[in-house]
Each structure stands twice: as C-alpha cells, then as structure tokens.
Amino acid sequence: MRGWSWMLSGLLIWAAHFSALYAIASLDAQTSADDHTLWTSAALVATLLCLAGCGLVLARTGFGAAPALPDRLAALGSLGAAVAICWQALGALFG
C-alpha cells in the first residue's frame, strides 16, 4: 500500500487539490456573500500547500539517471499535477 501511495503521490495531491477547490467553490456558492475574498484566499492556501507537496515529492526523487519506476512515476505525476493545480488555481482566482 505504501509503495502504491508513493508511486501515485503526485496524482493523489492533485486529487486532494481538486477536492479542496470543489468544496471551496461549493461553500462559496452556499454562503452567497458578495465578497469572495475569503474563499479565494482559501483556494490560494490550498494551492500553495499542494504545490509544496509536489515540490517535496520532486525533491525526494529528483531526475536521477535511472530511477526505479515507482520513483519515476511519483516525480512525473507531481510535475503533471503541479501544472493542473496551477490551472485549477487560475480558475478559482477568476471565480
């Protein structure tokens, strides 16, 4: 289980970010205040946390010469996830 969690860590971080933003967007709509600053900041905090997570995974694996497949997938996943997380954060900023 730990092996799989590590291999999929980047993608799991993406999933956490997406869920957080979906929840934040729903709460924003539910409270229906005119001022969205609170929720936008919450989305930003979630984004920074998740990006830091991606960074940690990347730092732990690096792009060494021939890493084992799980390490490689963790690194690539974090890289891809970081892109998607930035895009989703843009979406929240433009909310």
Partner 1 sequence: MTSETGFDTGLYDRFPTRGPRPAGELEKLEDAWCGPKGWQWISAINNNFIGVYYLGAAMLFFVLAGALALLMRTQLALPMNGVLPQETYNQLFTMHGTMMMFLFAVPAVEALGVLLLPQMLGARDLPFPRLSAYAFWAYLIGGLAFFGSLFFGLAPDGGWFMYPPLTGATYSPGINADFWLLGIGFIEISAIAGAIEIIVGVLRTRAPGMTIDKLPIFAWAMLIFAGMIVIASPSVILATLLLELERAFGWPFFDPLKGGDPLLWQHLFWFFGHPEVYIIFLPAAGAMSTIIPAIARTELVGYRLVVLAMLATGFISFGVWAHHMFTVGMPRMSVNVFSAASMAVSVPAGVQVFAWIATLAAGRMRFNTPGLFAVGGLVIFVVGGLSGVMVAMVPFDWQAHDTYFIVAHLHYVLIGGMVFPLFAAIYYWTPLVSARPLSERMGRWIFWLMFAGMHLTFLPMHLTGLMGMPRRVYTYLPDRGWELPNLLSTAGAYLFGIAVLLWGIDMARNFRPFRRKNAGNIYDGPGLEWLPNDLYSVRSIPVVTSLYPLWDQKGLSRDVATGRYFLPDNPTGGRETLVTSPMNAEPQFLLRMPKPSGWHVWAAVFTAAFFLLLTVQAYAAAALFGMLAVYTMFHWCWLLDRPMTQPRVDIGAGILAPSYAAGPASHGWWAMAITLVVAGMVVLLAGFSYVFLWSSRPELWKPPPDDALIAILGLYAVAALLAWLAVRLLTHDGPRSPVVSTLSMVLSVAALNAAGGLDVAGWLGAGLDPQASSQYAAVTALLAWQGLFLATAALMGLYIGLRLAFRYVLARQPATFEVVALFLAFSAGQGAFVAVLPRLFPGI
Partner 2 sequence: MSALDALRGWPPPVLDPAGPFAGPVTTVAWVLFAMGAVVLAIVLVATAAALFGPRRWRARLGGERLVWLGGFAFPVVVLTGLLIYGLTLTRDLSAPPAPGEVRVRVTGEMWWWRVGYLDARGGEAFQDANQIHIPPRAPVVLELEAADVIHSLWIPRLAGKLDMIPGRRNILRLQADRPGVYAAQCAEFCGGPHALMGLVVVAHEPRAYAAWQARQGRPATPLPSRGAEVFAAAGCGACHTVRGTAANGLAGPDLTHIGSRRTLGAGILPNHQGTLAAWVADSQALKPGNRMPAYPVLSGRDLRALAAYLEALK
Q: Are 70 and 6 in contact (CB under 8 A)?
A: yes
Binding of partner 2 by 87 (CB under 8 A): yes
Separation between Cα atoms, residue 25 and residue 29, nearest integer Å: 6
Binding mask 8-37 for partner 1 (x = CB under 8 A): x--x--xx--x--xx-xxx-xxx-----x-
Binding of partner 1 by 42 (CB under 8 A): no
Sole window of 8-16, 38-46, 47-55, 85-93 interacting with partner 2 (rule: CB under 8 A): 85-93
Return the DSSP state at 62.
T
- Both tokens of 6, joined, read 């590590």
Q: Are 91 and 26 in contact (CB under 8 A)?
A: no
- Residue 4 or 52 with smaller CB distance to partner 1: 4
Helices of type H across the chain: 2-7, 9-31, 37-61, 69-93
Give the residues lining the site for partner 1 (CB under 8 A).
3, 8, 11, 14-15, 18, 21-22, 24-26, 28-30, 36, 39, 43, 68-70, 72-73, 76-77, 80-81, 83-84, 87-88, 90-92, 94-95
